[in-house]
Amino acid sequence: MSELNFHHLRYFWAVAHDGNLTRTAERLNVSQSALSIQIKQLEERLGHALFERRGRQLALTEAGRLALDHADAIFSAGEELLANLRASGRSRQALRVGALATLSRNFQIAFLKPVLGRSDVEVILRSGTAAELLRGLEALNLDVVLLTQPPARDAITPFVSHRLAQQRISLVGRAELVGRRSKGKLRELLASEPVLLPTADSSVRTDFNALMERWNIQPQIAAEVDDMAMLRLLTREGVGLGVIPPIVVKDELASGFLKEAGSLPGIAENFYAVTMERKFPNALVRDLVSAKLPKL
């Protein structure tokens, strides 16, 4: 059957509900003859008469009742579509962000700061392992993923990594620990004081181990932690000196509760926003990735 003309169908729908050709023509501001022609063309397209005249009124045939049922569903769906689109223009836009469970909360806040508190944006933040988050991104359940290492790329993993920032790694601790040695005497502190380290699967840990090898130091490891929030708490408690990005403990450093002994040479942590290749990301993601991060 040839393609259905919805213009003809709408005229039929209007006449079927009015039950009177003259009244419909007046309401639609068209001539009766033009309206009759439109309905006739629809009947020819469908191969069935849709109306039968009963005095001055038009009555639906069996084919006409079937056509009206479908027309009601079609135009009701059209009205629902328009209503939903109008409503979506007024509703809050969702931004679904996945963040590595070990990622600094302060960094996450710095990244999301441009949209936090906006009345038109709802931020949905999920945490997990890199593998879990990347699966969510690939399934389009997440708009962007925040990681400290870019995922491997090959023909079947179409991710794009945007490096957002690089944060130096410092030796940080309670004043009484750092104060036992002259500030900046990193080698002396690392050789004498217990340290709190990221776990072995961290790039920071790999670089730290290499530095210890170069300096010929066997550090006393107080704890190995895979969560930056826990590393911060242990550092606050004075369990040891934390090998940590200063952004993680920026409030404690600002208040003087913790002191920074110094930056560890050659060790830094990178922060990446990962999106899907060849997929238009949420427009908010484009804005956040291209925005200059606040000073960390």
- Which DSSP state fits 261? E
Single-letter amino acid, residue 62: E
CA dist 121 → 43, 92, 147, 287 (Å): 49, 5, 22, 13
Q: How much is the pLDDT for 78?
A: 79
Least confident of 38-42, 133-137, 288-292: 288-292
Output b/e per residue, 262-280; b: 16+ Cβ within 10 A.
Answer: eebeebbbbbbbbbbeeee
Q: How much is the pLDDT for 265?
A: 92
| pLDDT tens column, 99-158 | 988 788 888 888 999 888 888 888 999 988 888 998 888 888 888 999 988 887 766 667
The radius of gyration computed from the CA coordinates of the chain, to the nearest angstrom, equals 33
Q: How much is the pLDDT for 182?
A: 47
Q: What is the mean pLDDT of residues 212-225?
A: 94
223 touches 239 (CB < 8 A): yes
Q: How many CB atoms lie within 10 A of CB 107?
A: 23
Q: How many CB atoms lie within 10 A of CB 63?
A: 15
What pTM was estimated for this model as a whole? 0.57
Q: How many CB atoms lie within 10 A of CB 198?
A: 24
Q: How much is the pLDDT for 103?
A: 82
Percent of the chain with pLDDT over 70: 90
Q: How many CB atoms lie within 10 A of CB 81?
A: 10
Q: How much is the pLDDT for 255?
A: 92
Q: How much is the pLDDT for 93?
A: 82
CA atoms 217, 223, 227, 228: torsion sign: negative
Phi-psi region of 81 (alpha: psi -120 to 50; beta: other; left: phi over 0): alpha
Q: How much is the pLDDT for 195?
A: 95
